[in-house]
Amino acid sequence: MKLSGTTALLTGATGGLGRAIARSLAERGAHLVLSSRREAELERLASELPGTGHRVEVCDLAASGAGEELIARAGRLDVLIANAGLPASGGLEEFSPERLEAALRVNLEAPIRMARAAAGPMVQRGSGQLVFISSLNAKFAPPRASVYAATKFGLRGFALGLREDLHGSGVGVSLILPGFVRDAGMFHDSEVAAPWVFGTATPRQVGEASAEAILADRAETDVAPRRQSLGAAFAHRYPRLSARLTRRQAVAMAERVARGQSSKS
């Protein structure tokens, strides 16, 4: 589908990836409904984007029913980009019940509920696109990230299954899988350097991949250097061997990331 003249709801808009996605869509003529918990940052982002017709909707997706309420407030939508997410790093025993509930709701439950609310009107019109920003961790589970990986595995399964359910309806479903990203995301936020051997992608590449996925109705897009995608595919196919080969380095890095994100929620 084309983006020019469409209305697209973007969650997590004030994060590094969200800003890049917003710009890529706005440059192609989309009118954006920008959502996050930070009203002042949303207003500033809306004023900085190219094009017109952008507006903001403040929403905390960790609250019960917030996803459906956001869809209702957004009005008629051509595109939904479910990008908001919580870090969810650390061992399972480190999660309070409240933090666990928030991670599961924001990262998995809210996107599913928003898709359910948005898809019906799209199917009735015979057009639309649902986009889910997941992670390469939807293909393999690193240490100290069991909850995070569970939400990303779940989101990938949901998106691919929903795509089949909506086949022939005119409504597409796309999944974006960023790997290590510099200047945004968990490594940037925790001030931990991603492993240099695998390379990194940029927020702009994630934004461009999201826009292109909508235009071409792509089912799944890895946003990572090829060697990183191959590493994820190897870990997905041979999880025990991969864990044995990388465990020591992966645990040390994961613990640094978890400590760096301990104050974020």
Which are the contacts of 132, defined by CB distance < 8 A and separation ≥ 6?
A: 82, 111, 115, 155, 156, 158, 159, 173, 174, 175, 176
Query: 148 an active-site residue?
Result: yes
Decide if 20 contacts 93 (C-beta within 8 A). no
Instruction: Give a yes or no: residue 200 inside a domain.
Output: yes
Looking at the DSSP bridge assignments, the partners of residue 58 are 36
Residue whose pair of structure tokens reads 């697209």 in the numeric block: 8
Q: Into how many domains does the chain fold?
A: 1
* Any domain includes 265: no
Q: What is the DSSP string of 81-120?
A: EE-------S-GGG--HHHHHHHHIIIIIHHHHHHHHHHH
Residue 198's pLDDT is what? 67
Domain interval for residue 28: 7-260
Average pLDDT over residues 172-199: 74
What pLDDT is recorded for position 189? Answer: 57
Q: What is the mean pLDDT of the chain?
A: 90
Q: Which residues of 207-246 are buried (b: 16+ CB within 10 A; e: fewer)?
A: bbbbbebbeeebebbbbbeeebbebbeebeeeeeebbeeb
Beta bridge partners of 31: 7
pLDDT band at 5, cuts 50/70/90? very high
Q: Would you call 7 exposed, middle or buried from its count of C-beta atoms within 10 A (0-12, 13-18, 19+)?
A: middle
CATH of the domain at 198: 3.40.50.720
Give the per-residue pLDDT at 262. Answer: 54
Query: Which residue from 68, 244, 85, 104 is spatially nearest to 178, judged by alpha carbons?
Result: 85
Q: Whole-angstrom Cα distance, residue 204 to residue 18?
A: 10
Most confident of 185-199, 214-228, 236-250: 214-228
Comparison of pLDDT for 133 and 198, the residue scoring more: 133
Beta bridge partners of 76: none
Q: What's residue 178's pLDDT?
A: 96
pLDDT digits (tens, 9 = 90+) for 106-160: 999 999 999 999 999 999 999 999 999 999 999 988 888 899 999 999 999 999 9
Instruction: Flag whether 2 is in a domain.
Output: no
**What does the pLDDT average to over 3-11?**
98
Is 18 a domain residue? yes
pLDDT bucket at 88, cuts 50 / 70 / 90: confident
Catalytic residue among 148, 153, 180, 187: 148
Higher per-residue pLDDT: 90 or 176: 176
Does residue 264 surpass a pLDDT of 60?
no
Q: Is residue 1 part of a domain?
A: no
Identify the bridge partners of residue 178 per DSSP, sorted by sequence position.
Answer: 223
Q: Which pair of tokens denotes residue 55?
A: 């507006």
Tell me the pTM: 0.90
Whole-number pLDDT of residue 231: 87
Which pLDDT score, from 0 to 100, does residue 68 have? 98
Query: Does any domain span residue 20?
Result: yes
pLDDT higher than threshold 80 for residue 221 = yes
- The pLDDT of residue 34: 98
In the structure, what pLDDT confidence band is assigned to residue 90 with cuts at 50, 70 and 90? confident
H and E: helices and strands count for the chain: 10, 7
